[in-house]
Amino acid sequence: MDIRRVRYDHPDAVRLTELVQQEYVERYGDPDMTPMDPDHFDPPQGIFLVAYSDDGEPLATGGWRARDASGEGFCDGDAEIKRMYVVPEARGHGIARRILAALEESAAAAGRRRMVLETGQRQPEALSLYTSCGYTPVPKFGLYRHEPLSVHLGRPLLTATIDVESCQARFQVRSQAFERDLTP
């Protein structure tokens, strides 16, 4: 399997987006009407990925776009996940998990501080994936923030680099203080 960055309007991305929209119609009665601009998924303000089989078949997709504080409930530094989808015959092989990890890594590298997403109660597979990856409920945001079936999740991104020497020095100081406290 190969995961590649493509534009949101790339033919493979468009095809997979049409499939996810069909799934939304089957589960909820309507497609996702969130306005989407392909430019929002261009680095550095976003990214869009397609996973391909070894034979070159598009299997899955997912993207993120930068979001900042607004009347829609986003916070500064948010990266909103959109259009996560795996074709039915490729599900259960960890592809969504790999795309999610790539999205998180690229968002952190772009300086985003939190990943957020909206899914729905009628998507138990998605809820299971996200919660198993550390996503927890966040205040509702976006177009569907008032919809009762919407579930909004998020997780902080690790964007800070660690100064190992400084961290070790602090640990040694704490260890010495702890040892002193134990000395009779």
pLDDT digits 0-9 by tens, 1-35: 999 999 999 999 999 999 999 999 999 999 999 99
Q: How far apart, in Å, are the Cα atoms of 134 and each of 73, 100, 104, 127, 153?
A: 21, 12, 12, 11, 9
Whether residue 141 is predicted with pLDDT greater than 90 in this model: the reply is yes
Task: Summarize the confidence of residues 112-136 as an average pLDDT.
Answer: 97
CATH number of 2-158: 3.40.630.30
* Other C-beta atoms lying within 10 Å of the C-beta of residue 143: 13
Average pLDDT, the chain: 88
pLDDT for res 70:
84
Question: pLDDT, tens digit, for every residue of 163-183?
Answer: 434 333 333 333 333 334 333
pLDDT for res 166:
37
Total-model pTM:
0.83
Give me the residue spans of the domains in the chain: 2-158
- H/E segment holding residue 167: helix 164-182
